[in-house]
């Protein structure tokens, strides 16, 4: 019998009910949802199992790979360095990373890396899977890579390269990897579980990710697999990855900052709670309010060259848009990031609300059969605020 554990403020009972239905109607196996309103954790629920055999119950501190939800943490780290005066977002990347100037990239500003405008969604030179786990292999390939479109002219989702591009700038500026910076400057002080590079001591907490159930309708993966040598194909398949890679110790230990963060719903919601409140939570300040406002000013919008769908980006954070892949409800200034498979974290500064949802059952939504889990939870959350 399914049991939902945790806490739910009576005002948000509908969120708990929607979460229950995610298991009974929408295919969740193990998942958690957490909502902050101002500095109060009003929803903190979890349920299901962390393994396909359903022998390991999901717990309050279960970690799971959240794919691109990680990108929001990378953006946060970059803005913290900018606020400290160590990084100028409008300076050329080559100021901090001289090798990046190759192939006509000498004038690309850091801001374009964060807003997916640099024209580097894919690496042209074929790389082996092992390159994902070798930081220098990825950054050297990006430094020599010619842009796929004139930088700044349009935007396209840098699915994997985002993390190495921004992460290398962070490393050059600060001396620490993005995973170390996140642990020491964000997750540690805030007491939030969010890792880019899971320590071996925490490995037993990691849930097994389950592949998406098969679908019969067209998805972006049909486009990718139809021409793996194309720009879109290389974006997702170079270096190549197998479906079970996400469950290996090598993946959990590595820093793939665009795609392999591991967190709990509590962890991601707690970080966004600080940002929803103007940058501070429980006496820990991450950013000034003015820095957040600059970070969420729109930089890119319209048809995405990679996804083929409308997307909106600030400087690193995805911006909410109704009917899009990042539909965060009625909030007009929501920001954060979704992840492939279903996870999400976002802040609504106007409502002083933060939301986190993580799952180990990946789902590929389609036009006729979208992934209904997050929309149901978000709708219930905002209905409780009405």
67: Cβ contacts below 8 Å, ≥ 6 apart: 259, 260, 339, 340, 341, 343
Q: How confident is the model at residue 364 (pLDDT cuts 50, 70, 90)?
A: confident
Q: What is the pLDDT of residue 51?
A: 98
The whole-angstrom separation of Cα 288 and Cα 281 is 12
201 counts as catalytic: no
Q: What is the pLDDT of residue 367?
A: 72
Domain of residue 256, CATH code = 3.40.710.10
Q: What is the pLDDT of residue 224?
A: 82
Identify whether residues 35 and 164 lie together within a single domain. no
Identify whether residues 104 and 33 lie together within a single domain. no
With vertex at residue 61, the alpha carbon angle to CA 12 and CA 316, rounded to the nearest 5 degrees, is 75
Q: What is the pLDDT of residue 170?
A: 99
Paired with 347 in beta bridges are 335, 354
Contact 359, 341 (CB under 8 A): yes
Helix boundaries (H) for the chain: 13-24, 71-83, 93-96, 110-114, 135-144, 161-174, 178-182, 188-190, 220-226, 231-237, 249-253, 265-276, 289-295, 373-385
Identify whether residues 164 and 307 lie together within a single domain. no
Q: Is 245 a member of any domain?
A: yes
Q: What is the pLDDT of residue 113?
A: 99
pLDDT tens, residue by residue, 338-349? 999 999 999 999
Of 223 and 316, the structure prediction assigns the larger pLDDT to 316
The DSSP annotation for 261-280 comes to -EE-HHHHHHHHHHHHTTSE
Identify whether residues 287 and 334 lie together within a single domain. yes
pLDDT tens, residue by residue, 240-284? 999 899 999 999 999 999 999 999 999 999 999 999 999 999 999
Of 221 and 31, the structure prediction assigns the larger pLDDT to 31
Identify whether residues 240 and 309 lie together within a single domain. yes
Residue 172 DSSP code: H
Residue entry with tokens 């180990």 = 360
Q: What is the pLDDT of residue 218?
A: 83
Q: Is 187 a member of any domain?
A: no
Q: Is 288 a member of any domain?
A: yes
pLDDT tens, residue by residue, 83-134? 999 999 999 999 999 999 999 999 999 999 999 999 999 999 999 999 999 9
Identify whether residues 91 and 8 lie together within a single domain. no
pLDDT above 90 coverage of the chain, percent: 93
Q: Is 188 a member of any domain?
A: no
Pick from 23, 15, 58: which is nearest to 377 by CA?
A: 15
Identify whether residues 173 and 138 lie together within a single domain. yes
Q: Is 372 a member of any domain?
A: yes
Q: What is the pLDDT of residue 369?
A: 78
> Could you say which of 178, 196, 214 is where a domain stops?
178
Q: How confident is the model at residue 215 (pLDDT cuts 50, 70, 90)?
A: confident
Show the tokens assigned to 260: 């392999």
Of 227 and 185, the structure prediction assigns the larger pLDDT to 185
Residue 197, Ramachandran bin (φ over 0: left; ψ between -120 and 50: alpha; else beta): left
Identify whether residues 290 and 247 lie together within a single domain. yes
* Domain that includes residue 371, residue range: 4-69+204-385
Identify whether residues 40 and 141 lie together within a single domain. no
Characterize 294-327 residue by residue with b for buried, 16 or more Cβ atoms within 10 angstroms of its Cβ, and e for exposed. bbbeebbeeebbbbeeebbbbbbbbbbeeebbbb
pLDDT above 70 coverage of the chain, percent: 100
Q: Is 193 a member of any domain?
A: no
Helix (H, G, I), strand (E, B) or coil at 245: helix
Note the pTM of the prediction, 2 decimals.
0.97
Q: What is the pLDDT of residue 380?
A: 98
Q: What is the pLDDT of residue 220?
A: 77
Identify whether residues 314 and 254 lie together within a single domain. yes
Identify whether residues 174 and 316 lie together within a single domain. no
Q: Is 209 a member of any domain?
A: yes
Indicate which residue of 68, 115, 300, 343 is catalytic. Answer: 68
The whole-angstrom separation of Cα 377 and Cα 371 is 12
> Could you say which of 109, 143, 178 is where a domain stops?
178
Q: Is 184 a member of any domain?
A: no
Please provide the average confidence, as pLDDT, over all residues in the chain.
97
Number of domains in the chain: 2
Identify whether residues 324 and 352 lie together within a single domain. yes
Q: Is the pLDDT of residue 233 over 80?
A: yes
């Amino acid at each position: 019998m399914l049991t939902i554990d945790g806490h739910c403020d009576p005002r948000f009972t509908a969120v708990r009910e929607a979460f229950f239905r995610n298991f009974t109607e929408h295919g969740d196996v193990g998942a958690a949802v957490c909502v902050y309103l101002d500095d109060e954790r009003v929803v903190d629920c979890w349920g299901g199992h962390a393994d396909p055999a359903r022998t390991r119950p999901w717990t309050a501190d279960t970690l799971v790979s959240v794919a691109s939800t990680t990108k929001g943490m990378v953006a946060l780290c970059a803005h913290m360095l900018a606020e400290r005066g160590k990084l100028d977002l409008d300076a050329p990347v080559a100021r901090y990373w001289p090798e990046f100037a190759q192939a006509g990239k000498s004038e690309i500003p850091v801001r374009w890396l964060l807003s997916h405008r640099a024209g580097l969604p894919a690496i042209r030179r074929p790389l082996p899977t092992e390159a994902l786990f070798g930081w220098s292999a990825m950054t050297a390939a990006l430094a020599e890579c010619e842009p796929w479109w004139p930088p700044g002219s349009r935007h396209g989702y840098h699915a994997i390269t985002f993390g190495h591009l921004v992460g290398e700038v962070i490393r050059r500026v600060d001396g620490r990897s993005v995973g170390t910076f996140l642990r020491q400057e964000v997750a540690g002080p805030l007491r939030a579980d969010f890792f880019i590079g899971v320590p071996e001591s925490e490995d037993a907490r990691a849930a097994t990710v389950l592949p998406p159930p098969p679908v019969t309708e067209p998805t972006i993966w049909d486009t990718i697999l139809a021409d793996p040598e194309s720009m879109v194909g290389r974006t997702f398949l170079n270096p190549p990855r197998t479906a079970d890679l996400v469950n290996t110790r090598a993946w959990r230990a590595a820093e793939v900052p665009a795609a392999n963060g591991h967190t709990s719903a509590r962890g991601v919601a707690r970080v966004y709670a600080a940002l929803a409140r103007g940058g501070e939570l429980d006496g820990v300040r991450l950013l000034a309010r003015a820095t957040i406002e600059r970070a969420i000013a729109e930089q890119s919008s319209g048809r995405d060259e990679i996804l083929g769908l409308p997307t909106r980006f600030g400087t690193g954070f995805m911006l909410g848009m109704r009917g899009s892949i990042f539909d965060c409800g009625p909030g007009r200034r929501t920001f954060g990031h979704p992840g492939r498979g279903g996870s999400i974290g976002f802040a609504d500064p106007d409502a002083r609300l933060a939301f986190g949802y993580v799952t180990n059952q990946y789902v590929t939504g389609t036009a006729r059969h979208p992934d209904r889990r997050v929309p149901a939870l978000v709708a219930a959350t905002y209905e409780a605020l009405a």
